């Protein structure tokens, strides 16, 4: 509370208490008697703002007491010098006194910190913040990671590798399997330099390596080097029995391919880590690989096993088994015949596909010059690994069976329809000739097919029309993938109709200007053999999982391409190709009715700007046995035989060899029926005397 100032009291003058009016700041109380001489008020500071306490105005004539001292934190107000008393109006003195009471209170001045103290305080706070954050990270966020790291230092885990599954042929014969093996490893630091030659002299003969190769491995830096991989357990035991210090064996596995080159294009191969790299090994890698297991045990700080610790074992799950539809024996014979045909004809290569006529299952998918699946170094990087499904070619006249199927289905021809055939014909600005010169002759439709007349085929195709021809081609699957369970399949090529030029339909009906694989060619003839129903080819028969459950491959639904009547008629017409007067006589098999077609397609010549060559050909033959009750279908392609040989000279004999083997191997007996005779030509008396009986 602020005290009122009191002036010096006059002696003998009693002090009066301030009236309520004066305390409230009103006019001073009225006095009786003569007025006292007023005194000048001492200078006072204005009262602080907001001070609700107001001092009473000084009483006139009353001496003023000096102001009380302020608290220690405020500067003391200097004591004013006494002045001579002056008379003033009471109202003016009251206003001054009130202003003094309202003077502003002086703010408290605090001391300031030194800059170094502020910086030090900030540094300490930052350090505490970082330490606190790190503690939160260690004990809250990263607790699991550090606990796992601590556990990992106390335990060790060894991978238990799963055994890769088997690949079998249709009879259960193993085509690929995995066996136990041993690697020979070396610790070079344990072998003195002076002893390397002695080591090599004893190891090289056993390992089948050169002396210098062994020495080079023994001289490698470090404490680990692989000297030999995937040895048989017997051979590894012989190496161990030498008792050489620094030479060790290490358990591993090895993929075995008993047939080596047999069906290698189908089976494929594996990478060095055991995963599938090509073929069935790649396509069914998840089934074959299985799942690795583990063995976990405690160790001390030196890595030694703690015998009293608990061991955790998760056993591996071995891979499943893939069973194929192919026959290993038939596959081997097919590859043998193809290799022989390439050598005999001087061709670049040859391919073959054999299918079951009723189920569409692939019995053989062979190629000449196949690599050894057990030795990846034998793979030609510039050639397709599985040509029968990867390599497309122009089929040539073997494709004419499709044109005749479409014409018969549309009712344009019958087997005995007579067609006047000149030696050449002009269509779409191009001239098409037959492979041999002849005068204008009257062939039957069967004769056009049997003697493979390009001109006669084009005349029939013109009656059919491009739209109906193209629709049948698509139903046969030309230009489409078959969907076989093998990687890298080619779809072949059938030009879309909106890209056709005026000359396109002058080539397509006899197999020029389109392409297909040998598997697609076999699928076309399977359709004809199966009464017009195309069943997409399949090569996997079943998959057996590690738990023993067997899942059979679902056979695709059949696609009706032509009617059974048309299919049977086409087969009868194709029989004439292998009878005297036809181009495929060399495919005939005594006692059996054979239906098939030859083909000789010109290859584009890169040296001649891509124009068709006069000497480079694709020779083909496709057929079925027996013709009246087909059991299997064979398609063959020989790539560019020497001297311009034709399909009837190269591919037809290979068909006879492989079909004869399969008839015996599958115990297929002759049906006993006779081929139906259909005239090939309308013969005059002279021709009738010189031509075979099947011609006229």
| Beta carbons of 620 and 318 less than 8 angstroms apart | no
**DSSP annotation of 392:** -
- Give the pLDDT of residue 296: 84
Q: Tell me the average pLDDT across 241-261.
A: 91
pLDDT in tens, 176-192: 999 988 899 999 999 99
CA distance 293 to 162: 7
pLDDT in tens, 666-696: 999 999 898 888 889 887 777 777 666 667 7
Task: Report the catalytic residues.
Answer: 397
Nearest to 262 by CA among 338, 319, 166: 338
The percent of the chain in helix, strand and coil, each rounded to the nearest 5, is 35, 20, 45
Average pLDDT score over the chain: 85
pLDDT in tens, 153-179: 677 787 888 899 999 999 999 999 999
- Give the pLDDT of residue 366: 97
95 confidence band (pLDDT: 50, 70, 90): low
Return the CATH number of the domain spanning residue range 159-320.
3.90.1310.10
Q: Tell me the average pLDDT across 517-539.
A: 98
Question: Do strands 321-324 and 167-168 pair parallel, antiparallel, or not at all (unpaired)?
Answer: parallel
Report the 10 Å Cβ neighbour count for 314.
14
Nearest to 235 by CA among 208, 270, 257, 217: 208
In whole angstroms, how far apart are CA 233 and each of 175, 184, 239, 250, 257? Answer: 21, 11, 10, 11, 17
For residue 562, pLDDT over 90 is answered with yes
Nearest to 293 by CA among 321, 323, 271, 313: 313
For residue 37, pLDDT over 70 is answered with no
Residues 6+ apart with CB under 8 A from 453: 421, 434, 443, 447
For residue 132, pLDDT over 90 is answered with no
Helix segments in 102-190, DSSP class H: 115-136, 143-154
- Give the pLDDT of residue 86: 53
- Give the pLDDT of residue 609: 86
Q: What length is written for the chain?
A: 696
Considering the entire predicted model, what is its pTM? 0.75
Helix pair 454-464, 466-475: axis angle to 10 deg? 100
Lowest mean pLDDT, pick from 113-117, 169-173, 490-494: 113-117
For residue 638, pLDDT over 70 is answered with yes
Lowest mean pLDDT, pick from 55-59, 75-79, 161-165, 232-236: 55-59
491 confidence band (pLDDT: 50, 70, 90): very high
DSSP class per residue in 475-535: HTTTTS----SSTT----B---GGG--TTGGGTGGGT-S-BB-HHHHHHHHHHHHTTTEE-
Cα dihedral 375, 379, 384, 388, rounded to 10, equals -50
For residue 602, pLDDT over 70 is answered with yes
Cα dihedral 144, 148, 150, 156, rounded to 10, equals 170
CA distance 356 to 296: 52
Q: Tell me the average pLDDT across 356-367.
A: 97
Q: Tell me the average pLDDT across 464-493.
A: 96
| Beta carbons of 48 and 70 less than 8 angstroms apart | no
| Beta carbons of 380 and 425 less than 8 angstroms apart | no
Helix pair 196-207, 233-240: axis angle to 10 deg? 160
Residues 6+ apart with CB under 8 A from 222: 188, 189
- Give the pLDDT of residue 68: 47
CA distance 629 to 572: 11
- Give the pLDDT of residue 19: 44
At residue 625, the 3 state secondary structure works out as strand
Lowest mean pLDDT, pick from 41-45, 302-306, 585-589: 41-45
pLDDT in tens, 414-441: 999 999 999 999 998 899 999 889 999 9
112 confidence band (pLDDT: 50, 70, 90): low
302 confidence band (pLDDT: 50, 70, 90): low
């Amino acid at each position: 509370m602020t005290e009122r100032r009191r002036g010096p009291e006059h002696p003998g003058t009693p002090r009066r208490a301030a009236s309520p009016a004066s305390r409230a700041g009103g006019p001073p109380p009225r006095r009786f008697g003569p007025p006292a001489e007023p005194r000048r008020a001492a200078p006072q500071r204005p009262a602080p703002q907001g001070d609700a306490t107001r001092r009473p105005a000084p009483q006139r004539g009353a001496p003023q007491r000096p102001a009380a001292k302020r608290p220690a934190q405020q500067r003391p107000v200097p004591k004013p010098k006494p002045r001579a008393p002056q008379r003033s109006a009471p109202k003016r003195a009251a206003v001054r006194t009130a202003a003094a009471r309202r003077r502003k209170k002086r703010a408290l001045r605090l001391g300031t910190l030194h800059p170094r103290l502020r910086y030090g305080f900030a540094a300490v706070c930052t350090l505490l913040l970082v330490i606190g954050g790190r503690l939160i990270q260690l004990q809250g966020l990263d607790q699991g990671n550090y606990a796992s790291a601590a556990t990992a230092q106390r335990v060790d885990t060894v991978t238990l590798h799963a055994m890769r599954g088997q690949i079998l042929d249709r009879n259960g014969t193993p085509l690929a399997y995995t066996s136990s093996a041993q690697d020979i490893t070396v610790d070079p630091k344990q072998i003195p330099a002076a002893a390397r030659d002695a080591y090599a002299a004893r190891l090289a003969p056993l390992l089948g390596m050169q002396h210098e190769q062994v020495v080079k491995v023994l001289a490698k830096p470090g404490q680990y080097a692989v000297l030999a991989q995937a040895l048989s357990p017997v051979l590894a035991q012989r190496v161990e029995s030498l008792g050489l210090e620094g030479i060790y064996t290490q358990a591993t596995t090895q993929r075995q391919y008993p047939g080596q080159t047999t069906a290698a294009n189908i089976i494929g191969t594996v990478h060095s880590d055991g995963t599938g790299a090509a073929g069935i090994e790649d396509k069914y890698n998840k089934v074959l690989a299985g799942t690795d297991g583990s063995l976990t045990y405690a160790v001390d700080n030196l890595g030694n096993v703690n015998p009293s610790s608990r061991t955790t074992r998760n056993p591996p799950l071995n891979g499943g088994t893939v069973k194929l539809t192919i026959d290993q024996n038939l596959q081997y014979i097919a590859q043998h015949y193809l290799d022989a045909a390439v050598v005999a004809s001087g061709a670049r290569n040859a391919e073959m596909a054999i299918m079951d006529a009723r189920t569409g299952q692939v019995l053989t998918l062979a190629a000449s010059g196949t690599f050894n699946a057990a030795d990846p170094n034998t793979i030609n990087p510039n050639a397709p690994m599985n040509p029968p499904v990867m390599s497309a070619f122009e089929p040539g006249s073997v494709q004419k069976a499709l044109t005749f199927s479409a014409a018969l289905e549309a009712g344009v021809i019958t087997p005995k329809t007579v067609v006047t055939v000149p030696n050449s014909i002009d269509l779409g600005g191009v001239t098409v000739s037959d492979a041999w010169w002849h005068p204008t002759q009257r062939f039957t439709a069967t004769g056009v097919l049997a003697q493979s007349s390009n001109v006669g085929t084009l005349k029939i195709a013109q009656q059919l029309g491009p739209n109906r021809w193209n629709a049948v081609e698509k139903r046969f699957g030309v230009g489409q993938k078959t969907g076989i369970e093998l990687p890298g399949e080619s779809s072949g090529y059938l030009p879309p109709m909106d890209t056709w030029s005026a000359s396109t339909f002058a080539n397509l009906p006899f197999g020029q200007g389109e392409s297909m694989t040998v598997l697609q060619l076999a699928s076309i003839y399977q359709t004809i053999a199966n009464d017009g129903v195309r069943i997409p080819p399949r090569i996997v028969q079943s998959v057996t999982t590690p738990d023993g459950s067997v899942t059979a491959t679902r056979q695709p639904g059949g696609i009706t391409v032509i009617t059974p009547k048309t299919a049977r008629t086409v087969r009868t017409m194709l029989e004439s190709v292998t009878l005297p007067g036809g181009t495929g006589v060399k495919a005939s098999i005594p006692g059996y009715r054979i239906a098939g077609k030859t083909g000789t397609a010109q290859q584009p010549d890169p040296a001649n700007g891509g124009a068709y060559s006069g000497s480079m050909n694709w020779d083909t033959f496709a057929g079925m046995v027996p013709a009246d009750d087909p059991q299997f279908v064979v398609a063959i392609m020989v790539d560019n035989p020497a001297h311009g040989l034709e399909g009837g000279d190269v591919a037809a004999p290979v068909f006879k060899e492989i079909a004869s083997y399969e008839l015996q191997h599958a115990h297929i007996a002759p049906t006993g029926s006779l081929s139906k005779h259909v005239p090939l030509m309308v013969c005059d008396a002279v021709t009738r005397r010189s031509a075979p009986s099947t011609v006229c």
